[in-house]
Amino acid sequence: MKKNCKAKVFCGLSVMRGALCGLLLLSLTTLFTHSPVYGQQNVKRISLKLETTSLLEALREINRLSDNVVVFKKEEVERETKRVTVDLKNVTVKAAVEACVEGTGLTCVDFEGKVVVTPRQQPTSITVTGTVRDVNGEVLPGTTVIVKGDSLFLGTSTGADGAYRLTMPTSVTTLVFSFVGYKPKEVTVGGRTKIDVVLEEEVKSVDEVVVTGIFTRKASSYTGAVVTMTAKDIMRAGNQNLFQSLKNLDPSLFIMDNLEMGSNPNAIPEMKMRGISSFPLEETGVRLKGNYKNSPNQPLFILDGFEVTAERVMDMDMNRIESVTLLKDASAKAIYGSKAANGVVVITTRRLAGNEQRVTYTGSVDIQMPDLSSYNLCDAEEKLEAERIDGIYDDANFLLYTQKQMLYQQRKQLVAAGLDTYWLSKPLRTGVGHKHNLSVELGDAETLRAVLDVSYNQVIGVMKGSDRRNISGSLDLSYRRNDLIFSNTMTVNSNKSYDSPYGAFSDYAKMNPYWRAKDPETGQVVRWAEDRIPNPMYDAEIGTLKKESYVDFLNNFQVEWRALNGLILRARVMLSFKRNDGDEFLPAAHSSFANITKDSPVEEQLRKGSYRLDNGKSSNVSGDLHGNYATTIGKHSILAMGGFGISEYSYEAYVHKAEGFPNSQSADITFARQYALDSRPEGSSSLRREINFVLGGGYSYDDRYFLDFNVQTSASSLYGNDNRWATGWSVGVGWNLHNEHFFPWKDLVRQFKVRGSIGLTGNQNFDTNEAVATYQYYTDANYLGMTGSYLGRLANPSLKWEQKKDYNVGVDATIHRATLRFDLYRADTENMLTDVSVPTSTGFATVKDNLGLVRNSGIEAYLSYGVLQQNRTFLTVFGSLVTTKNKIIRLSESMRAFNELRDKMASDKANNRPVLKYVDGESMETIWAVRSAGIDPMTGQELYIRQDGSLTYTYYESDLYPVGNSLPKYRGTFGFTFEHKGFGVSTTFRYQAGYQYYNRTLIDRVENVDMNYNVDKRALYGRWKEPGQVTPFKRLGTFRYDDDPLSRQEMTRATSRFVQDAKELTWGSLNVYYDFQADILKYLRMKRLRVSFYMEEISKISSIKAERGFDYPFARTMSFSLIGTF
């Protein structure tokens, strides 16, 4: 390229110091030149093509093509580092220069036929925007963005979509980006107004922020006891549903095994956080199928800032989850006031950020295999021998004895011929389900962004005919206009679930193995397994129907205004509607009507067949306005936040029962003959309105000492007229010991935070009508054509909210590669809601009232250690321990009537279950039974221990004694995560110990056995048979030692003999995955591709041999998953 001499002359004038001097010199020069020539140069058109050329050479090339029209100062141009790449066709000289200097600190102007390049006028401040992602392209909400080296705090954090916006002085040179679990990154601004950042994952890092569902707090100066789990953590622990993953992640949220329903895909799990403190809900007699009521000890679920049900959480698509945060102590949960006593689970869904358009598909095949390892039933030969010893084939009457012996020989021949039906397998299958999710992300970071999610999930249970299908669609829209961000999330779910028409699994467990399930000649299912013994398999052949369905709509709208640096105002509105339906049809030939024969009265025969129809709907409308302001002045950091919210929740549900159906094809309630005997339409409804105000703040000095406070007050229609308002509050303090100048191990200890908090929260998990008078109508009579009414529930205008006062002390530490979290807590619950006896003169036996004090205390500890941390390789081991102690400190005298009623239940000879009693000084989960001295070796009878220590053969309910506690003293998890060059393995084990379990299997299938049905093998091998024999179980045979002359054998009652010490180890999850590397992705034209294999509930080791899954068996789960992003 030739050098331009005239340009060099102008560039060499060292006296020029600015654009004005340049323009003045140019004006003097033009006096001695031919202006008509230069007047035409700047409109001359040129073509220019350059690749990665310096700006100086680019301007020189333009001068060569335009006959030296461009004027510039060499020193100013050489300071610019931009490399110019352009391809211009037939453009003006000025347009070519503008294209070259774009994005630099230079500009150009016309002057007397020349194009003069001058410095841009520098603004005093600039606004930088951008998006923060990880290496996989996932956005990182809550990333801290601060100015490096500024004495005053100047910074912001990314929103839920990973985007940030920061206005700062032009003198700022470097920004620092930091996020939990990722390496901090410093980025040079260099005059840029858009900076997108990619953070690399770090095995161990100090948490930066805490998302509470209303506000986002800086973790280093936060006093609350919280646990945050990212989407990666959740997916490593399992991919079935969120509850199953949380079960393997944090033991402080105790998600209990459902021993009745096992792995039933339609069962909502029971859970509690930091113990129980509320009495069980009173049964209303109306079994609703809409899941409208929450368990009294269930935590509060917050999805994107709004309350949702446990069913909604269980059915949501896990791929949409960004993070889950558990709020445990008062400092963390007090912002939710009167709803937060049981803890809060905050779920945040992911958002779109950046300019990339992405399509992500996630699919999996899920396999469920029944787990029958807990069953130990007799085979055909063993069952016959047990019956012979029991004497069911003996009789004093010779004719009956002959008939029974003939039956015995007939059955013996069948067994000898090989008949040994394994009934447990008959209703079971290997369930193969599948789920799919398609996510489309569109838009750009500065204006309109959108995420469209469509998902399908079909869970196939291990019992034939049981499944749960969920179809969901959501649309997330976000629009940014300067400092305003508008966002809207609309979600529609359609769910349909079927319970198995094969009935309860316990019906198959009791079937004798010498009975046939199918006709050996035709292969058809027989109706009777033996004479008048219904075959439960037959029920599935005749059109039995048990299904439920719901459709719900959820819309969240939010406006966020970043009014000033550090000031954010946010307004939100949520609308939710749900409709629920349920159908249960039992045909006339169903085994439920087996006792109605052709010899029964005609009217009774016409009642065969039943139908139950459930209809319900609910709505939830809520809105809130919140603001928070954060600033730092020198060493002082100040946070202020406040807001208010209003909400209305209502539901109504109705139940219709009908009977009398002509055939199995008439599965419609309109074919019914009549309403069910002595029944009429039933229902339940509730309306709850609430308004709340919240105020909070925080102060930190030099990031060493910090203070938090929160106050939330609310008025609710749940409470009595005299106590509408309820106030929750919390105060927390903390100390970052590692930031002290005297701390000696700064290189080793990156964090050592000590914190403590105290506060008050409440519980609203009870029915709306508990405090108000409820009237009902007389429907069976009238007076002069008028219908009367009566008071059905007594009002209590003084009814208060349950109050829980939380005390918490904790430590968060990061030492070398180890991360430690430790909490010591105590929670006192007062004003518990329960039934209290009232004088009979009121016309009522009980009324709802507040009484008592219950205390939960314990410790929570978590430790993880990065054993190996190298480039693209890491190994982390982890473990946790939770201890919980529950104690009733004080109960009202009114509870005496409750306990007396329980004693009366215990006196029932047909009752073999421990009764629930509440006594001062005992746990709410204490097991009450009569103490046993064991089986008398001489008689085979059980010896009971009286209150005075004496022994007796007679069972007295007055001898009930606390013989155990079903609350585990110790629970926890442990496991490891390993990854190497995209290949990873993660596994988790769960353990619990230090508790007692009332073994129902021993009492139902070993002692209180009906020998007409199958029994546990221990009924044959473990029971007393002859004098002098020491055995754990009573004699097997015909005997009587109670006062009832018609009793053949006394019912074994609840005693300490069936209460066993329990220890349990469960291999909860295994995840093996592989992320394909960049070269393969480039070849496939993909951004991400991962294949995974999951196993859940793999095996269980227990100190107790007991059947699990009485009505529905447990299952082991395998899953093959694929994630692809384009």
Cβ contact 53:84 at 8 Å: yes
- Give the pair of three-digit tokens for residue 1024: 């007393």
Q: Which residues contact 106 (CB under 8 A, 6 or more apart)?
A: 55, 72, 76, 77, 80, 117, 118, 119, 120
Helices (H), ranges, 813-918: 895-906
pLDDT band at 431 (very low <50, low <70, confident <90, very high): very high
Indicate whether 1044 pLDDT > 70: no
Q: Answer whether residue 357 is part of any domain.
A: no
Residue 82 and residue 99 share a domain:
yes
Report, as an integer, the average pLDDT of 1099-1115. Answer: 90
Rounded CA-CA distance 191/188 in Å is: 9
Going by their DSSP bridges, the two strands 216-218 and 226-230 should be labelled as unpaired
Beta strands in 871-1006 (DSSP E): 873-890, 926-930, 932-935, 942-945, 951-952, 960-965, 970-980, 983-998
In the chain, what is the greatest distance between 2 CA atoms, to the nearest angstrom? Answer: 145
Rounded CA-CA distance 723/58 in Å is: 79
pLDDT at 428: 95
pLDDT at 190: 80
Residue 62 and residue 42 share a domain:
yes
Stated as kind and residue range, the H or E segment containing 810 is strand 802-815
Rounded CA-CA distance 821/753 in Å is: 10
For the ranges 715-724, 864-873, 1055-1064, which has the lowest average pLDDT?
Answer: 715-724
The SS3 call for residue 1078 is helix
Q: What is the dihedral of CA 1080, 1082, 1083, 1088, to 10 degrees?
A: 60
Rounded CA-CA distance 1021/1002 in Å is: 13
Stated as kind and residue range, the H or E segment containing 1074 is strand 1059-1075
Could you say which of 119, 136, 171 is where a domain stops?
Answer: 119
Report, as an integer, the average pLDDT of 496-503. Answer: 94
Taking only the tens place, the pLDDT of each residue in 605-662 is: 899 999 999 999 999 999 999 998 888 888 888 889 999 999 999 989 999 999 999 8
For the ranges 93-102, 425-434, 987-996, which has the lowest average pLDDT?
Answer: 93-102
Q: Answer whether residue 81 is part of any domain.
A: yes
Highest mean pLDDT among 235-239, 419-423, 662-666, 956-960: 419-423
Quick one: residue 891, left, alpha or beta (phi over 0 = left, psi -120 to 50 = alpha)?
beta
Q: Answer whether residue 57 is part of any domain.
A: yes
Residue 136 and residue 93 share a domain:
no
Report, as an integer, the average pLDDT of 588-609. Answer: 88
Residue 22 and residue 100 share a domain:
yes
CATH number of the domain to which 185 belongs: 2.60.40.1120
Rounded CA-CA distance 669/672 in Å is: 5
- Among the listed residues 270, 338, 332, the one whose alpha carbon sits nearest the alpha carbon of residue 804: 338
- Give the pair of three-digit tokens for residue 847: 């009324």
Q: Which residues contact 211 (CB under 8 A, 6 or more apart)?
A: 141, 142, 228, 323, 325, 346, 348
Residue with tokens 């510039």: 72
Indicate whether 148 pLDDT > 90: no
- Among the listed residues 854, 860, 803, the one whose alpha carbon sits nearest the alpha carbon of residue 225: 860
Residue 131 and residue 115 share a domain:
no
Q: Answer whether residue 147 is part of any domain.
A: yes
Sort 862 into a burial class: Cβ within 10 Å, 0-12 / 13-18 / 19+.
buried
Residue 43 and residue 90 share a domain:
yes
Answer yes or no: pTM beyond 0.85: no
Residue 106 and residue 10 share a domain:
yes
- Among the listed residues 1037, 1003, 1026, 1020, the one whose alpha carbon sits nearest the alpha carbon of residue 393: 1037
Instruction: Find residue 329's DSSP bridge partners.
Output: none
Residue 179 and residue 93 share a domain:
no
Cβ contact 822:252 at 8 Å: no
Beta strands in 816-890 (DSSP E): 818-837, 846-870, 873-890
pLDDT band at 996 (very low <50, low <70, confident <90, very high): very high
Cα three-residue angle 49-55-60, rounded to 5 degrees: 70
pLDDT at 772: 62
Q: Answer whether residue 83 is part of any domain.
A: yes
Q: Answer whether residue 798 is part of any domain.
A: no
- Among the listed residues 185, 200, 209, the one whose alpha carbon sits nearest the alpha carbon of residue 325: 209
Sort 534 into a burial class: Cβ within 10 Å, 0-12 / 13-18 / 19+.
buried
pLDDT at 498: 94
Taking only the tens place, the pLDDT of each residue in 379-395 is: 999 999 988 888 889 88
pLDDT at 563: 82
Q: Which residues contact 751 (CB under 8 A, 6 or more apart)?
A: 206, 220, 736, 738, 812, 813, 814
What string of DSSP letters covers 374-388?
T--B--HHHHHHHHH
The SS3 call for residue 693 is strand
What string of DSSP letters covers 234-246?
HHHT-SS-HHHHH
Going by their DSSP bridges, the two strands 300-303 and 209-211 should be labelled as unpaired
pLDDT band at 773 (very low <50, low <70, confident <90, very high): low
Could you say which of 70, 90, 119 is where a domain stops?
Answer: 119
Average pLDDT for the chain: 83
- Among the listed residues 194, 197, 198, 187, the one whose alpha carbon sits nearest the alpha carbon of residue 127: 194
HEC profile for 151-189? Answer: CCCCEEECCCCCEEEEEEECCCCEEEEECCCECCEEEEC
What is the domain range of residue 16?
5-119
Indicate whether 293 pLDDT > 70: no
Q: Which residues contact 662 (CB under 8 A, 6 or more apart)?
A: 588, 609, 671
pLDDT at 281: 47
User: How many structural domains does the chain have?
Assistant: 2
Taking only the tens place, the pLDDT of each residue in 334-345 is: 888 878 888 999
**Sign of the torsion formed by the C-alpha atoms of 603, 604, 610 and 615:** positive
pLDDT band at 357 (very low <50, low <70, confident <90, very high): confident
Indicate whether 1105 pLDDT > 50: yes
pLDDT at 352: 60
Cβ contact 86:39 at 8 Å: no
- Among the listed residues 945, 968, 941, the one whose alpha carbon sits nearest the alpha carbon of residue 958: 945
pLDDT band at 203 (very low <50, low <70, confident <90, very high): very low
* Per-position b or e across 80-103, b if 16+ CB within 10 A of its CB: bebebeeebeebbbbbbbebbbee
- Among the listed residues 1097, 225, 401, the one whose alpha carbon sits nearest the alpha carbon of residue 217: 225
Q: Answer whether residue 164 is part of any domain.
A: yes
pLDDT band at 1039 (very low <50, low <70, confident <90, very high): very low
Rounded CA-CA distance 615/581 in Å is: 5
Cβ contact 634:650 at 8 Å: no
The SS3 call for residue 729 is strand
Residue 154 and residue 113 share a domain:
no
Stated as kind and residue range, the H or E segment containing 401 is helix 398-416
Rounded CA-CA distance 180/228 in Å is: 10
Stated as kind and residue range, the H or E segment containing 803 is strand 802-815
- Among the listed residues 223, 152, 146, 149, the one whose alpha carbon sits nearest the alpha carbon of residue 636: 152
Could you say which of 119, 151, 178 is where a domain stops?
Answer: 119
Residue with tokens 């352009």: 86
Indicate whether 122 pLDDT > 90: no
pLDDT at 367: 95
Cβ contact 1006:1113 at 8 Å: no
pLDDT at 573: 95
CATH number of the domain to which 56 belongs: 3.55.50.30
**Sign of the torsion formed by the C-alpha atoms of 299, 300, 301 and 304:** negative
Q: Which residues contact 231 (CB under 8 A, 6 or more apart)?
A: 138, 321, 322, 323, 350
Q: Answer whether residue 87 is part of any domain.
A: yes
Indicate whether 288 pLDDT > 50: no
Residue 139 and residue 78 share a domain:
no
Instruction: Find residue 569's DSSP bridge partners.
Output: 561, 627
The proportion of the chain whose per-residue pLDDT surpasses 90, expressed as a percent, equals 39
Going by their DSSP bridges, the two strands 114-119 and 70-71 should be labelled as parallel
Instruction: Find residue 575's DSSP bridge partners.
Output: 555, 621
Cα three-residue angle 335-337-339, rounded to 5 degrees: 120
- Among the listed residues 245, 269, 509, 265, the one whose alpha carbon sits nearest the alpha carbon of residue 1069: 245
Cβ contact 28:15 at 8 Å: no
Residue 111 and residue 16 share a domain:
yes
Residue 104 and residue 38 share a domain:
yes
Indicate whether 986 pLDDT > 90: yes
